[in-house]
Amino acid sequence: MEGPPRTLIHLLLLLLCIASKCLGGASGLNSTQMVTLKVDASPKLARKIPDTFLGVFFEEMGHGGAGGIWAELVSNRGFEAGGPNTPSNIDPWLIVGDDSSVYVETDRSSCFSRNIVALRMEVLCNDCPAGGVGIYNPGFWGMNIEDGKTYHLVMYVKSPKTTCLTVSLTSSDGLQNLASVTIIVAGDSKWIKVEKKLVAKGTNRTSRLQITSKKKGTVWLDQVSLMPADTYKGHGFRKGLVSMLMDLKPRFLRFPGGCFVEGGWLRNAFRWRQSIGPWEERPGHFGDCWQYWTDDGLGYYEFLLLSEDIGAAPIWVFNNGISYNDEVNTATIAPFVKDILDSLEFARGSANSTWGSVRAKMGHP
Ligand SMILES: *[C@@H]1O[C@H](CO)[C@@H](O)[C@H](O)[C@H]1NC(C)=O
Ligand SMILES: *[C@@H]1O[C@H](CO)[C@@H](O)[C@H](O)[C@H]1NC(C)=O
Ligand SMILES: *[C@@H]1O[C@H](CO)[C@@H](O)[C@H](O)[C@H]1NC(C)=O
């Protein structure tokens, strides 16, 4: 962790330095005195270096998780980068078309109670352009879509009238079409989960995901995810990056970070309980140390899986009631202690224990 702790250490060292100078002067030690230090490096005194000595520290900073080792391609998939109130922040989603042909806004009509914000998209044109109008997501730095690869799309959609949506992968200017799929949404105003496979027929490293329509009307969208089908052991991590990680032969993996765990303020710190369970229902949080929203698709469970998959011991960093700017009174630390004990039960408890059963339900008995 950076910041206050390091500053404190520097200050302590400085004080120690001043103090020892004073002591040195007072006792009149002779600075030219000779000292002999004998080092016995014979094998009989050697100690074995533990094989867990070398490992890796994961840091979230600058999208090390989603956008980095975590393969999710959509940034801000739940439209809630601005939190649970509306208008929320839909950045980096933008519209395809212009203000006269499509109108979007956030409202609190999602089917997920812990992340209630959804996007309402109104197609205004009677005679829409050939490619349709709608929205697109450029991912974190453009989506790296590769020829012949399969991508899993999941999204939730609702429409009062039957309509037709086209979901496509295109180049950043929308001109090159790499894959597309058509979705008919029955007009019964109920949220439905849409799952589709998109197979790329071309490569472009700066692609985007588009959701468009040519039919006048209103649709609601929420929790739009696009994942490459081919991830490390099918657990959602980018294969290329995990293989580089494996080359380091780490014997432990520290996660989910330092500052990310601490938070600038406690209210924005990583909370493991909110990062487990079905990804669609995770509320996500604003990581105020690195100043961006994360949907917590890469959560406590996924980090434990990664540790297991690469044969590294998990080192779980938890929040002990302190952030950069605030801290809980020691008298009220009990909920934090409980939080930590429960997190250990989630990781190590039997499938019959309270939190072990939650883990088992997620697919890991
Ligand atoms: C400091 O130690 C050196 C070497 O032992 C000695 O020659 C010198 O006289 C000592 N000086 C004082 C001030 O004690
Ligand atoms: C990817 O798309 C950009 C923007 O349209 C274009 O300039 C570039 O040539 C494309 N790259 C490939 C490999 O087709
Ligand atoms: C869990 O509970 C079941 C049913 O009560 C029991 O048969 C099983 O042995 C328990 N498993 C563990 C690991 O405690």
DSSP-assigned states of every residue in 290-343:
TTEEE--SS-HHHHHHHHHHTT-EEEE----SB-SS-B--GGG-HHHHHHHHHH
In a domain, 72, yes or no: no
Same domain, 239 and 199: no
- Nearest atom in ligand 3 to the alpha carbon of residue 351 is 13
Domain of residue 178, CATH code = 2.60.120.260
pLDDT at 8: 53
Residue whose CA is closest, atom 11 of ligand 1? 30
Same domain, 301 and 201: no
- Nearest atom in ligand 3 to the alpha carbon of residue 350 is 13
In a domain, 80, yes or no: no
Low-confidence ranges of the chain (pLDDT < 70): 1-29
- Nearest atom in ligand 1 to the alpha carbon of residue 31 is 1
Same domain, 41 and 130: no
In a domain, 173, yes or no: yes
Question: Cα torsion at 236, 242, 246, 252 (round to 10°)?
Answer: -60
Pocket test of ligand 1: the residue of 27, 29, 30, 33 to mutate, having most ligand atoms within 8 Å of its CB, is 30
In a domain, 319, yes or no: yes
Q: Is 77 exposed, middle or buried (0-12, 13-18, 19+ CB in 10 A)?
A: buried
Same domain, 191 and 239: no
Same domain, 258 and 345: yes
Residue whose CA is closest, atom 7 of ligand 3? 352
Residue whose CA is closest, atom 12 of ligand 2? 204
Residue span of the structural domain in which 185 resides: 94-228
Same domain, 199 and 258: no
In a domain, 76, yes or no: no
Give residue for tokens 């597309």.
180
Q: Does ligand 3 have an atom closer than 6 angstroms to the CB of 189?
A: no
Domain of residue 315, CATH code = 3.20.20.80
Same domain, 243 and 123: no
Pocket test of ligand 2: the residue of 168, 171, 175, 178 to mutate, having most ligand atoms within 8 Å of its CB, is 171
Same domain, 275 and 209: no
Same domain, 222 and 100: yes
In a domain, 51, yes or no: no
Structural domains in the chain (count): 3
In a domain, 185, yes or no: yes
Distance linking the first and last C-alpha atoms of the chain? 33
Q: Does ligand 3 have an atom closer than 6 angstroms to the CB of 350?
A: yes
Same domain, 337 and 272: yes
pLDDT at 6: 56
In a domain, 79, yes or no: no
Same domain, 129 and 211: yes
Domain termination residue (choose one: 204, 228, 252): 228
pLDDT at 247: 96
pLDDT at 180: 98
Tell me how far apart the alpha carbons of residues 216 and 218 are, in angstroms, rounded to a whole number.
7
pLDDT at 3: 45
Same domain, 133 and 241: no
Q: Which ligand ends up closest to the CA of 32?
A: 1
